[in-house]
Amino acid sequence: MADQEQPTAAAGPAGEAADEKKSKNAEKKAKKEAEKAAKKAAAKERELAERKKKEDADAADVSADSYGELPLVGSKDFKPTGTQRSNLADIASNEDKEITFRCWVENARVQSAKLAFLNLRQGLNTVQAVVAASEKLSKQMVKFSGSVSTESTLVVTGLVKRVKEEIKSATIKEFEIHITKLFVEVKAEVPLPLQVEDAERPLPSAGLGDEDEKQADDGRPLVGLNTRLDNRTIDLRAKINHAIFIIKSGVCALFQEFLSKRGFTLIHTPKIQGAAGEGGANVFELKYFDRSAYLAQSPQFYKQMLIASRFQKVMEIGPVFRAENSNTARHLTEFVGLDLEMEFQENYHEVMSVLEELMLFIFKELDTRYRAETELVRSAYHVEPFKLPESGKVPRINFAEGIAMLREAGEELGDYDDLTTPQEKHLGKLVLEKYGSDFYTLDQFPLAVRPAYTMPSPTNPNLSNSYDMFMRGQEICSGAQRIHDAALLAKMMREHDPPINPDADGTRDYVNCFRYGCPPHAGGGFGLERIVQFCECCVVDFLLLIQNC
Amino acid sequence: MADQEQPTAAAGPAGEAADEKKSKNAEKKAKKEAEKAAKKAAAKERELAERKKKEDADAADVSADSYGELPLVGSKDFKPTGTQRSNLADIASNEDKEITFRCWVENARVQSAKLAFLNLRQGLNTVQAVVAASEKLSKQMVKFSGSVSTESTLVVTGLVKRVKEEIKSATIKEFEIHITKLFVEVKAEVPLPLQVEDAERPLPSAGLGDEDEKQADDGRPLVGLNTRLDNRTIDLRAKINHAIFIIKSGVCALFQEFLSKRGFTLIHTPKIQGAAGEGGANVFELKYFDRSAYLAQSPQFYKQMLIASRFQKVMEIGPVFRAENSNTARHLTEFVGLDLEMEFQENYHEVMSVLEELMLFIFKELDTRYRAETELVRSAYHVEPFKLPESGKVPRINFAEGIAMLREAGEELGDYDDLTTPQEKHLGKLVLEKYGSDFYTLDQFPLAVRPAYTMPSPTNPNLSNSYDMFMRGQEICSGAQRIHDAALLAKMMREHDPPINPDADGTRDYVNCFRYGCPPHAGGGFGLERIVQFCECCVVDFLLLIQNC
């Protein structure tokens, strides 16, 4: 053994004393060194033993059952735990309680070996969560939690604790979660093709293709339309897009609620039609087995035919197809139409009143029932609040008066000219100035610019009993009294520019349905995307639909 | 004057006495005759005078302002009268009061010069009306009223009077209208191509083309499908068709009401798609400007993509297109889909529970809120009431158990065979016997008979976490847990029969959306027409849609 020294055999008889002394010194030295080495070795041994002990302790991991990756849900036959899952919206009622909830990771970061922070999201709510090492929570769990990939879906258990200082980075500002368990339910791949954070930024109204990608003032990338549409499921995770979808859902619900109370029957009219109605322009054609068919451009003919069938009031929410190759923010080849048609008793203004009250109801209830969503969208788009008249009475302006207002403001146009888009916007501003309303109705349009089935005006044969409704100077609804007499309808079709043959397939059945006592009626059609777009002033047309073509 | 007699100059000297006698007799006779003639003439004169007097009175027509034909509403610039128009449904509250209402003529008949009867309809209500001549109401008005053509639209004013004997021919049995004013608003042409009364008779389930038209037992014609579809606006006036439309509207409203309360967002997914999804069979193709596009077969991919976008619960009501040339009562090329998709926490049975509770809610509320309509339809179709389990718990049967029940009842089929339509109906009967329910869920279907995106079962790789719901032995809903992991999805697509390329257009984006943390989810789709058809047991498929091709 290295520690046991052996006498050396190098010493001779001459100079033995000196040699002996030397030898003794050497012996001492060797002994000392041996002792030193022994101490060192012992220390090393202890260190190794301690390290081993520590490693054994680490391998045990007090948190081993409190974190990790779950098997694919549904792929294992496990009994549900039955644990109540919480909604983050109710967090205030759970102060100092432990809750379990599903959420996803906005971001996760390891602050130190003992501390990790996560931003967690559920619906439109985000919350800050802390994973802190302790006797009961291992550093391994801290490390695991802080390293979860962004957008992974988690099931988290933790204590709801009030914080002293408001949390700026989350929508929930007064509470944070002290995590006790954290399981990854579905891991998100890295890297993400698009950061949800970047999708929160509204798209410039001009569109912005990928070739135009730029940086915003804060240095973050401005993600273009193509990237967004190519990764639409991630783009749609942005809170602003959730809010737009919820508002869209809300407009439909409010439309139905208001009209149901007034006795409207919800209908679903065919979208595949045997003949192209309403003149046949801008219609998509499809193969219907061994013949051609067409996609409905509007439910116009059908909803009128149901009025002829004595349904006194009908409404429909459904897709409308327009083969218009117009790539503007005002056109879509497919949009959601909110349509209604009703008989009236004496004057079509009865129907205009229903339409106006309907829209006022929708505006009002969006601002109350969907306040969080509308505020979120409006703040992102920096929008002026939508102004409604203080009287509660929607301005109803005759087309002739509108023309006069525009002329007074310098526009040049004829008595029976249709308004251009810039003129509509101009008139919107003039009406806002004069009547204090972003919403108004323009009545008695020129007959020539309306469909052939529009009832001519009794006061002037060049005008018609028709109307448009405008929001912020843009049309959201077009409607009219319809001709309910077959002979007059056929005559007006023939005289229309371009003429329509009342005996052609696709119009004959329509004209004939007015031979047997159809009551007087009027109606209108709204574009859902336009209502949301002009009300919230956001770029809805581009973003509402998942790219389909 | 005729009354004053003059002596005659005919008497001579010879035989003067006899002559005189003769003469006197003749004179007497002549006098008598003259008197008679005079009386007659006087009578005639009196009669003429009286007739003239009467004619003068008639020309004045005390009712002249109380009946007639109105000008086309909207064509004249007349001021609304503002008269309140009544709803016949509220008739009981108007006893002995005069009401004005719009209605249409079921039939009108002149009983005598002084009396006419009309059957008037408004919505689902019909009432008997009497026009009786009096000092204040002319016979001309009686004649006019009793001669109005069937299906004309009227505005009627009259007194609501209680009757002594129940009126069998009207839905309003305790009251009739004593008409004081009757105006034809829109005259129906004669003859009608189809009597509404004949459209009230349900179509035999086999269809019945015009070539098969027969007489019913009561001698009235059985009108075939072609005649009905060619005159659909008149066919739809039948009360039974109104009821079916109202029930259809009701199912949609109840679906939304139930799911909205549970936090579902209403979505509208594109119907025009750039690629044929789900394998590409039975898809309608259309020209989309210079390329091809396809009509959505279901919102399946989109609703899942929205779950991947973190919308926790989504629902859609919209058209679904299937290019299936199957001319059966179970298939439509276009129908209304009621779809939902939601994330679940631990087990897909959570979603099955939502679906079952949803359907129980719809059944229950149809029977209460839409009782008049469901009773009307069921009585016309002579339907057994729809049975639900007394426990309120929907029978949930594993596919394997269903197979065992069928085998025990003599059917021969393999463990993983799909059920044929007759087998489904048979199983429906067996479940009704065993569990006392016309509604049940069949769970854990064979994997091979379900779409490639279905989650395999953890207990048996030949089964899947999928389910169908049945009403009266016919499928109304199909649903499943979907695979929410991109790698597993791609694998299952490749192994599917026929295989699906996960990298192809139309599937690539779908598969990719499961790479970034999509939560576990399940859902289902209902066919609106099927729910109404099997619940009310009426021939809905044929009659709900206006003929479109």
Chain B residue with Cα closest to A299? B546
Residues of chain A with Cβ-Cβ distance to B345 below 8 Å are 80, 85, 102
How many other CB atoms sit within 10 Å of the CB of residue A407? 11
How many other CB atoms sit within 10 Å of the CB of residue A28? 10
Q: Which of A164, A93, A86 is nearest to A120 (CA)?
A: A86
- Relative to beta strand A396-398, strand A439-443 is parallel
Token code pair at residue A359: 């829209």
Residues of chain A with Cβ-Cβ distance to B187 below 8 Å are 517
Q: What are the residues whose beta carbons fall under 8 Å from the beta carbon of A299, sequence distance 6 or more? A: A267, A269, A316, A318, A320, A337, A339, A525
Q: To probe the interface with B, which of A84, A105, A548 has the most B CB atoms within 10 Å?
A: A548
Q: To probe the interface with A, which of B69, B70, B72, B73 has the most A CB atoms within 10 Å?
A: B73
CB contact under 8 A, B75 and A516: no
User: Which pLDDT does position B43 carry in this prediction?
Assistant: 81
Q: To probe the interface with B, which of A86, A347, A516, A546 has the most B CB atoms within 10 Å?
A: A516
Is A356 within 8 Å of A445 (Cβ atoms)?
Answer: no
End-to-end CA distance of chain B: 85
Q: Which of A104-108, A216-220, B270-274 has the highest mean pLDDT?
A: A104-108
Residues of chain B with Cβ-Cβ distance to A309 below 8 Å are 232-234, 236-237, 241
Please tell me whether residue A293 adopts helix, strand or coil conformation. Answer: strand
Distance from B514 to chain A by nearest Cα, in Å?
9
CB contact under 8 A, B77 and A459: yes
Residues of chain B with Cβ-Cβ distance to A321 below 8 Å are 271-272
Higher pLDDT: A2 or A55? It is A55
User: Which pLDDT does position A21 carry in this prediction?
Assistant: 61
Interface size A-B, in CB pairs within 8 Å, comes to: 278
Q: Which of A392, A500, A494 is nearest to A437 (CA)?
A: A392
CB contact under 8 A, B286 and A288: no
Residues of chain A with Cβ-Cβ distance to B513 below 8 Å are 233
Looking at the partner chain, which of B77, B272, B317 has a beta carbon nearest the beta carbon of A549? B272
Token code pair at residue B55: 């004619």
CB contact under 8 A, B319 and A268: yes
Please tell me the class of the A86-186 domain. mainly beta
What's the whole-number average pLDDT of chain A?
87
Residues of chain B with Cβ-Cβ distance to A459 below 8 Å are 77
Residue count of chain A: 549
Cα B517 from Cα A150, distance rounded (Å): 9
**Residue in this structure with the two tokens 């930024």, named with its chain if needed:** A201
CB contact under 8 A, B265 and A284: no
Distance from B223 to chain A by nearest Cα, in Å?
18
Distance from B139 to chain A by nearest Cα, in Å?
25
Residues of chain A with Cβ-Cβ distance to B511 below 8 Å are none
Which ranges in A165-265 belong to alpha helices (H)? 196-199, 225-230, 232-235, 239-261
Q: State pLDDT tens for residues A301-343.
A: 999 999 999 999 999 999 999 998 877 666 788 999 999 999 9
CB contact under 8 A, A189 and B312: no
Q: ipTM of the assembly?
A: 0.87
Looking at the partner chain, which of A76, A81, A234 has a beta carbon nearest the beta carbon of B516? A234
CB contact under 8 A, B284 and A288: yes
**3-state SS, one letter per residue, for B502-545:** CCCCCCHHHHHCCCECCCCEEEEEEEHHHHHHHHHCCCHHHHHC
User: Quick check: A449 pLDDT over 70?
Assistant: yes
Looking at the partner chain, which of B186, B271, B517 has a beta carbon nearest the beta carbon of A187? B517
Residues of chain A with Cβ-Cβ distance to B323 below 8 Å are 289
Looking at the partner chain, which of B76, B272, B528 has a beta carbon nearest the beta carbon of A548? B272
Q: To probe the interface with B, which of A345, A463, A481, A505 has the most B CB atoms within 10 Å?
A: A345
Among candidate residues A237, A322, A426, A450, the one labeled active-site is A322
End-to-end CA distance of chain A: 84
Distance from A390 to chain B by nearest Cα, in Å?
27
- CA distance readout (Å), B265 to A229, B306, B526: 21, 10, 17
- CA distance readout (Å), A154 to A139, A234, A242, B8, B221: 19, 17, 20, 137, 67
Q: Report residue A271's pLDDT band, with 50, 70 and 90 as the boundaries.
A: very high
Decide if A85 is catalytic.
no
Q: Which of A13-22, A92-101, B15-24 has the highest mean pLDDT?
A: A92-101
Looking at the partner chain, which of A253, A286, A319 has a beta carbon nearest the beta carbon of B285? A286
Cα B56 from Cα A181, distance rounded (Å): 101
CB contact under 8 A, A515 and B76: no
Q: What are the residues whose beta carbons fall under 8 Å from the beta carbon of A220, sequence distance 6 or more? A: A197, A198, A201
Active site residues of B: 322, 324, 330-331, 475, 478, 530
Residues of chain B with Cβ-Cβ distance to A547 below 8 Å are 274
Residue ranges of the domains in chain B?
86-186, 196-236, 241-545
Looking at the partner chain, which of B266, B318, B484 has a beta carbon nearest the beta carbon of A319? B318
Distance from A271 to chain B by nearest Cα, in Å?
8
Ranking A63-67, A279-283, B147-151 by mean pLDDT, the lowest is A279-283
Q: ∠ CA A533-A538-A544 to the nearest 5 degrees?
A: 70
Q: State pLDDT tens for residues A172-212.
A: 999 999 999 999 999 999 999 999 999 888 766 554 454 45
Among candidate residues A178, A201, A232, A330, the one labeled active-site is A330
Among candidate residues A324, A350, A365, A411, the one labeled active-site is A324
Is B539 within 8 Å of B533 (Cβ atoms)?
Answer: yes
Q: What are the residues whose beta carbons fall under 8 Å from the beta carbon of A356, sequence distance 6 or more? A: A394, A396, A441, A469
Distance from B58 to chain A by nearest Cα, in Å?
30
Is B448 within 8 Å of B416 (Cβ atoms)?
Answer: yes
CB contact under 8 A, A513 and B233: yes
Fold category of A241-545 in CATH: BirA Bifunctional Protein; domain 2 (3.30.930)
Looking at the partner chain, which of A72, A256, A267 has a beta carbon nearest the beta carbon of B245? A267
Looking at the partner chain, which of A192, A343, A516 has a beta carbon nearest the beta carbon of B516? A192
User: Which pLDDT does position B2 carry in this prediction?
Assistant: 40
Looking at the partner chain, which of B74, B311, B520 has a beta carbon nearest the beta carbon of A520? B74
Chain A residue with Cα closest to B291? A549
Torsion A13-A14-A20-A22 (CA) sign: negative
Among candidate residues A23, A149, A353, A478, the one labeled active-site is A478
Query: Which of the residues in chain B have pLDDT under 50?
Result: 1-15, 207-208, 210-211, 538-549
The C-alpha R_g of chain A, in whole angstroms, comes to 38
Token code pair at residue A130: 């802390």
Q: Report residue A75's pLDDT band, with 50, 70 and 90 as the boundaries.
A: low
Decide if A102 is catalytic.
no
Distance from A167 to chain B by nearest Cα, in Å?
24
CB contact under 8 A, B74 and A545: no
Decide if A478 is catalytic.
yes
How many other CB atoms sit within 10 Å of the CB of residue B144? 21
